[in-house]
Structure 1
Amino acid sequence: MARLIPVAEWAVEVFGEHKPHRHTIRNWIRNGLIRPCPKKIGRAYFCAPNAEYVDPRAERIERIARGS
């Protein structure tokens, strides 16, 4: 199994000093905008180091462009 890291660490790795607020990250988790989905272990969320933020608007535009 892949190593999991805390979502706060993931945010620093992905966004650097411009990381979003922890409430924003929790909203993203609840809305399924981080893939693969983070796992809640105890009180904290952990995710794969290669997880990505998925912009739902970009996905919709791609579907429209493909015609599906």
Structure 2
Amino acid sequence: MCRHRPTCPTADSPDREAAHTIAAHPEQGWSLLCNSLVLFEDTGELLPNGQVVAPHRLFATA
């Protein structure tokens, strides 16, 4: 699906969030990346195969 050069990471690669955004809906809290990954503002993800990745936001500790 990706036509960028160099190509974006696939949805099953560890760096999948680095793919280009092709549709952004910040008012709804999600973006669609060119590797068919749906990325939510809380850092949760929905993979193209329907698998859910729980939010993994890093929090600063004082």
Q: Do both share a fold (TM > 0.5)?
A: no
Larger RCO, structures 1/2 (Cα 8 Å, 6+ apart) = 1
Q: From the two aligned structures, give the one with the greater strand fraction.
A: 2
**What TM-score comes out, normalization by structure 2 length?**
0.23
Q: From the two aligned structures, give the one with the greater helix fraction.
A: 1
